[in-house]
Structure 1
Amino acid sequence: MAVKLTERAADEVKRFRKEHNFDENMLLRIGVAGGGCSGFNYTLNFDDKFDDKADSKYDWHGVEVVVDKKSALYLDGTTVDWYESLEKQGFTFENPNAVKSCGCGSSFQA
């Protein structure tokens, strides 16, 4: 399985990239890092580097997504979406590997 990006999330990535004048060749890197109140934090960054030995690459709705192999162990099957309401907006992660997550949704325990 892969890390999936919904069409709504892909549209937001494209909007952000255009608004900040990022090159179209910049990849969206999704990963995990130690920390947060539950053990791991989700990371989203733009990157111009891809290592075919250390990374996996996917194309979702015209956005190239890169995940390093270590993060892929924790993110396999995860869907990244964009949520927007009057109270808040941001990317959400639906991760089937998370056994516990914090109230803010930005960290998890596997």
Structure 2
Amino acid sequence: MLDVLTVATAVAALALAAWCGWAAHRDQPTKDWHFIGMAVVSLLALVQLVVGIVQLARGERPEQGVTIFVAYLVGAFACVPVTAFMSLAERTRWGSVTVAAGGVVLAVLQVRLYDIWGG
């Protein structure tokens, strides 16, 4: 895996979590600019998904198994979009809390992906 991409995705996810956590602290729902941030983080996760699949197609293998690696890649990619849709359904501060939690989960998934690959 590309370590730089993994770190960039984790940092962006934590920044999104802090930003949405601050909005929740101020009793605000997610706004349009939060969704732009979610799109950026989702784009990074998509790039990571594509890079991971390309590396698998080239014959590179993670230390802890292909199946678990692909499962974590797909989960990392789906994490922020799922919380974005949930925040649309909950237009209160709890929508912001949901996205903040999704950002933290994505950062943890990045650490786990690094471990699975053999970091």
TM-score, structure 1 as length reference: 0.26
Higher strand share: 1
Q: Which of the pair is proportionally richer in helix? A: 2
TM (norm. structure 2) is: 0.25
Whose RCO is larger (CA < 8 A, sep 6+)?
2
